[in-house]
Amino acid sequence: MNENLTGQDWRIRLYIYQFFVAHGRPPSHDEAAQHLRLDPAEARAAYHRLHDHHTLFLEPGTNAIRMANPLSAVPTDFRVYVGAMAYWANCAWDSLGIPAMLGADARIEATLAHSSEAVSYTVKNGVLQADPFLVHFSLPFARWYDNLLHT
């Protein structure tokens, strides 16, 4: 998978993730270009290649990162607190994807879909502590990339 991405594309992707983790928001392509000493047009093209290969997801019609799974650039029903940082997760799965990715303890504040009840759960020393919640995966894996905003 992703044979068409270059080594530079992957370096840009890693920088995006590192920046997102450090700042709680994704970098613009200009910020990536400046940090990696690239032409902004080159960074912008890399952002779109990464999007085309499902490595991140751009806001439709823009150069702005909407998702770098499990991180979301926009508010959601899933807020993840890790140390002094707070992140938005794209979904219930990604709310646990953030502590999994960081290898860190986390407290998640979430809203249940049907009742709008505010709930919380934690990961501590690799152990999940939560009520017996259920996560609904609406689409089968074969269709996940049809529409990531829906999935």
Partner 1 sequence: MLLFRSEDEADAWCAARAEPRGEMLSLDTVWALSQAWYGNRLSPSYRGRTLEEARRVFTGVGLNSPFWQS
**Buried b / exposed e along 9-44 (16+ C-beta atoms within 10 A):** beebbebbbebbbeeeebbbbebbbeeeebeeeebb
Within 8-37, the residues that bind partner 1 by CB under 8 A are: 10, 14, 17-18, 21
Q: How far is the CB of 45 from partner 1 (least distance, A)?
A: 18
CA distance 67 to 77: 14
Residues between 105 and 144 with contacts to partner 1, criterion CB under 8 A: 110-115, 117, 119, 121, 123, 128, 130-142
| From candidates 26, 49, 66, 70, binder to partner 1 by CB under 8 A | 70
Q: What are the C-alpha distances in Å from 46 to residues 69, 102, 104, 108? A: 17, 25, 30, 32
Shortest spacing between CB 66 and partner 1, in angstroms: 16
Please report how close the Cβ of residue 145 comes to partner 1 at its closest, in angstroms. 10
What is the distance between the alpha carbons of residues 14 and 100, in angstroms, rounded to a whole number?
A: 17
Least distance in Å: CB of 134 to partner 1? 5
Q: How many residues does the chain have?
A: 151
What is residue 146's DSSP assignment? T
Region from 26-34, 37-45, 59-67, 93-101 binding partner 1, contact rule CB under 8 A:
93-101
Residue 48 CA, chain-centre distance (Å), reads: 16
Minimum distance from residue 34 beta carbon to partner 1 (Å): 21
Q: Rounded to an integer, what distance in angstroms lies between the CA atom of residue 114 and that of residue 121?
A: 18
Residues that bind partner 1 (CB under 8 A): 1-2, 5, 10, 14, 17-18, 21, 53-55, 69-70, 77-78, 91-94, 96-103, 110-115, 117, 119, 121, 123, 128, 130-142, 151
